[in-house]
Amino acid sequence: MGGTINTHSFFGALTMKRLFVILAGAFALFIGRGLTAADDGEIPLSALAGKYSNVVQGSEAVCFNQTTGKLALCSNVGKVAGVVVFPVTVLQVGDATRDVNGNSCATFTVVLSDLPVDASPPEVTVGLHNVSKVVTYDPSTGAGDASFAIYSGGKRWYP
């Protein structure tokens, strides 16, 4: 059913780019929290303009197929040979600036560590830059969609 996985081979096979698919949304979610609607009940996009900082802390279960070396659906644990759960803790710290049109730029650092804590070192990624633009926005709900790209060392890193 379960299984063990060498964390060093896990981080080698499951690149940080793939794991950031899971984490990328976490950084964007904090922007706009704590806003109150205007008298007409709407939150205009321009009200989200400003500077933000965030800290994301928690744990996640990432499922991995040791046979294929790729991410796997967690519903396949115990059903498909080689699929194991890899629990990790996440600590992400960063800051962002958003303009009145919904364009934003963020810089952040992420630390991932396997659970339970053992002798394997945490994976630390410093100086990632997330550039995003609001694609759709509904001021009546304060919800919308954005496109983004993550850069590292001046090169596009994801997607």
Model confidence pLDDT, tens digit, residues 28-58: 444 444 444 445 678 999 999 999 998 889 8
**Is the residue at 54 inside a domain?**
yes
What pLDDT score was predicted for residue 131? 92
Do the Cβ atoms of 118 and 6 come closer than 8 Å?
Answer: no
Q: Does residue 2 lie in a domain region?
A: no
Domain with 75 in it = 7-158
CA within 13 Å, CB half, 132: 24
On whether residue 1 sits in a domain, the answer given is no
Q: Quick check: pTM over 0.85? A: no
What DSSP character marks residue 121? P
pLDDT tens figures, 107-129: 999 888 887 777 888 888 888 89
User: Domain count of the chain?
Assistant: 1
Query: Which residue(s) pair with 112 in the sheet?
Result: 90, 123
Residue 99 belongs to what H/E stretch?
none
Evaluate whether residue 138 is within a structural domain. yes
